[in-house]
A and B are shown apart, each in its own frame.
Chain A
Amino acid sequence: MKTLRKVHTAQQTVRVDGEVVFRYDGEDGFSGFARALYRKREMAYPKFYKMSDMCKLGFLTAEVLLQDHKLPEDPHRTALVLACRSASLQADALYWESMSGIPSPALFVYTLPNIVTGELCIRHNIQGEELMWVQENYNEAFLLSYAELLMQGGTVDSCLCGWIDFAPDGEYLASLSLLEREA
């Protein structure tokens, strides 16, 4: 198993293999950062605006990770091995607030940590194994070893592996690696 590329998103900055590729210096925090990066990439994906912050974070990080990369032709052979600390607590709090009025289905749908997985699968047509782990602290070694297990199992050739966390206090970090099975 080899790592083709690693993308790290935190503090309004995106790094590819350690090198800064995008930085937002505005004052609108994560939402300003996310909007600026989305616009810079000239995407037409209106669903983006409906997403929770956790989903936007994962979505944008995966856009950079998979840029100019072709996933295996068979969509069943790409896997997602992801983890987070805060699950969907930030989206949960937003939905909970809506409960005092008319509870919002559009907010409720984002109250699961694996919705970001679903968003990535739809965007990149990934139909393989997928699992969202919850970890107190980012344990990359564990996720890599699990991805390795999947590849050894013979049903997976390519894997997006890593961390997507958006805490209720607004702190966020995504760190995704693109892994490939070695022949």
Chain B
Amino acid sequence: MAVYVESGSIVSALGFSVEEVFTRVWQGQSGLASDVEGTYSAEPVMLSKVDAGRLEETAAEMAPDFAGSRFETMLLVALQQALQSSAVRLSDPATLLIVSSTKGNIDLLDTSDPASLELNLWHSARLVANHFAAANAPLIISNACISGVAAMVAAQRMLLSGAYRHAVVVGADVLSRFIVSGFQSFKSLSSERCRPFDARRDGLNLGEAAAAMVLSVDKPKGQKEGICLLGGAMHNDANHISGPSRTGEGLLAAIRNAVGQETIDFISAHGTATPYNDNMEAVAISRAGLAHVPVNSLKSFFGHTLGAAGMVETLVSLEAMKRNVVVGTLGYEEHGVSEAINVAAANFEQPLQTVLKLASGFGGSNAAVLFKKESL
């Protein structure tokens, strides 16, 4: 039995579908811009924001009766887009729904009491699940920045166990004063567009996005080629709650377990562009014997979209694999990590059979997930 990727969707500053987003990424457009409106920060800050007007219009067209927060609306639009091109339905008892987010409705804390039910992730997940008349109670993963990758790995396991035939995985996080000020307090934001793996990198940018993926154990119909989610792994560094391990121990273990005996053609790194994260990743990739494999980071296109990041970046990378291309890392000019890993600076064409997606996050979390093309 295998798990196939049926369809996917992205809601982001760069567009509202995988197609649209990929086209912009391929053209080298970034969703990041200096935000001077002051909604999220008194000082100007580089952010990747979802167009509020377009989000509302799209949601109103899809679901005129849906009344939800910005976070919930993004979940709704991403789910609807992904389900549109699939026969899988959430109302089918064989379909599982997994929601991934780090902070959900935390923007509402500005106006709500902390004990309000609407601040709970399960509240948002239930609202959206009810909209789609989901047969099963949604599962929720909140594991910092690995949430999106972890959700795909968990979905694959549960599908292979035979408990479900289909899984719909959706990840989202919205910008908020809460998150922006938190990262500012950590001094981890760059005042410019971030530069993953570059010598001059000095921090990350934040973004918001939602992404959804429909997975199924049924082979996709009418296609010569499909993409399988082969599996993945999560490992903790057991080192520090807010800093990555210098030796990349946890990520290395996750890569080794995810890769097994497969040959890796391309790596989509977490690549936040903080000095420590990118170096740790380079160490782990190198220790895993993958220093020669083309690797990129998409953070300079989307910013760090937290609970959505793993899914957004996976979907862009799977689209690249379908087209046999590697997307260059915007902002990467001079190699700036200790290991000689093969960072893709510019776009190029190359036959790809496998994609390895990495993620790391607060709490010492690390995750890796592997996808492979398969003839049908």
| A122 in contact with B233 given A76-B253, A90-B114, A96-B178 (CB within 8 Å) | no
| A109 in contact with B242 given A121-B364, A168-B115 (CB within 8 Å) | yes
Report whether over half of chain B's contact residues are helix, strand or loop; otherwise say mixed.
Answer: mixed
- Return the chain A residue nearest B151 by Cβ: A131
Task: Assess whether A169 is interfacial by the CB under 8 Å rule.
Answer: yes
| A89 in contact with B142 given A95-B178, A130-B234 (CB within 8 Å) | no
Residues of chain A within 8 A (CB-CB) of B184 are 103
- Return the chain A residue nearest B117 by Cβ: A136
Shortest Cβ distance from residue A56 to the other chain B in the assembled complex, whole angstroms = 14
Q: Which of A122, A131, A149 contacts B241 (CB 8 A)?
A: A122
Contact of B178 with A112 in the complex, beta carbons under 8 Å: no
Mask for B224-243, Cβ within 8 A of A = 1, else 0?
A: 00000000011111111110
- Return the chain B residue nearest A91 by Cβ: B114
Residues of chain B within 8 A (CB-CB) of A96 are 109, 114, 178
Within 8 A of B (CB), among A28-47: none
Indicate the size class of the contact surface on chain B: 35 or more
Contact of A99 with B178 in the complex, beta carbons under 8 Å: yes
Indicate the size class of the contact surface on chain A: 35 or more
**Stretch from B4-12, B119-127, B320-328 that touches the partner:** B119-127
Shortest Cβ distance from residue B128 to the other chain A in the assembled complex, whole angstroms = 14
Task: Assess whether B170 is interfacial by the CB under 8 Å rule.
Answer: no
Contact of B185 with A89 in the complex, beta carbons under 8 Å: no
Contact of B142 with A134 in the complex, beta carbons under 8 Å: yes
Most chain B beta-carbon neighbours within 10 Å: one of A75, A90, A129, A155: A129
Contact of B114 with A89 in the complex, beta carbons under 8 Å: yes
Task: Assess whether B106 is interfacial by the CB under 8 Å rule.
Answer: yes
Mask for B82-116, Cβ within 8 A of A = 1, else 0?
A: 00000000000000000000111010010000110
Within 8 A of A (CB), among B145-194: 150, 154, 157-158, 161, 177-178, 181-182, 184-187
Contact of A135 with B114 in the complex, beta carbons under 8 Å: no
Task: Assess whether B291 is interfacial by the CB under 8 Å rule.
Answer: no
Shortest Cβ distance from residue B194 to the other chain A in the assembled complex, whole angstroms = 20
Q: Which of B106, B185, B235 contacts A76 (CB 8 A)?
A: B235
Contact of B185 with A108 in the complex, beta carbons under 8 Å: yes
Within 8 A of B (CB), among A64-88: 75-76, 80, 85-87
Q: How far is the CA of A5 from the CA of B240 in the complex (A)?
A: 28
| A114 in contact with B126 given A85-B120, A96-B178, A135-B140 (CB within 8 Å) | no
Contact of A115 with B109 in the complex, beta carbons under 8 Å: no
| A92 in contact with B237 given A112-B363, A127-B253 (CB within 8 Å) | no
Most chain A beta-carbon neighbours within 10 Å: one of B126, B143, B253: B143
Q: Which of B119, B187, B236, B249 contacts A118 (CB 8 A)?
A: B236
Q: How far is the CA of A121 from the CA of B184 in the complex (A)?
A: 27
- Return the chain B residue nearest A95 by Cβ: B182
A-B contact count (CB 8 A): 149
Residues of chain A within 8 A (CB-CB) of B103 are 111
Contact of A118 with B363 in the complex, beta carbons under 8 Å: yes
Task: Assess whether B139 is interfacial by the CB under 8 Å rule.
Answer: yes
Contact of B241 with A133 in the complex, beta carbons under 8 Å: no
Q: Which of A125, A155, A167 contacts B233 (CB 8 A)?
A: A155
Contact of A118 with B143 in the complex, beta carbons under 8 Å: no
Task: Assess whether A93 is interfacial by the CB under 8 Å rule.
Answer: yes
Q: How far is the CA of A114 from the CA of B139 in the complex (A)?
A: 16
Contact of A103 with B114 in the complex, beta carbons under 8 Å: no
Known: A108-B185, A129-B233. 14 other contacts (CB 8 A): A86-B120, A87-B142, A89-B115, A92-B109, A109-B186, A111-B103, A112-B142, A118-B364, A129-B234, A131-B150, A132-B141, A134-B122, A155-B233, A155-B257
**What would 22 A/B residue contacts be, using CB atoms closer than 8 Å?**
A87-B104, A90-B114, A92-B114, A95-B182, A99-B177, A103-B181, A103-B182, A104-B185, A109-B362, A111-B182, A112-B102, A118-B364, A121-B238, A126-B236, A127-B250, A130-B234, A134-B120, A134-B122, A146-B154, A146-B157, A149-B157, A168-B114
Shortest 10 CB-CB distances between A and B: which pairs? A118-B363, A93-B114, A134-B140, A108-B182, A136-B122, A168-B114, A103-B185, A121-B236, A121-B238, A114-B363
Chain B residues near A (Cβ < 8 Å): 102-104, 106, 109, 114-115, 119-123, 125-126, 137, 139-144, 150, 154, 157-158, 161, 177-178, 181-182, 184-187, 233-242, 249-250, 253, 257, 362-365
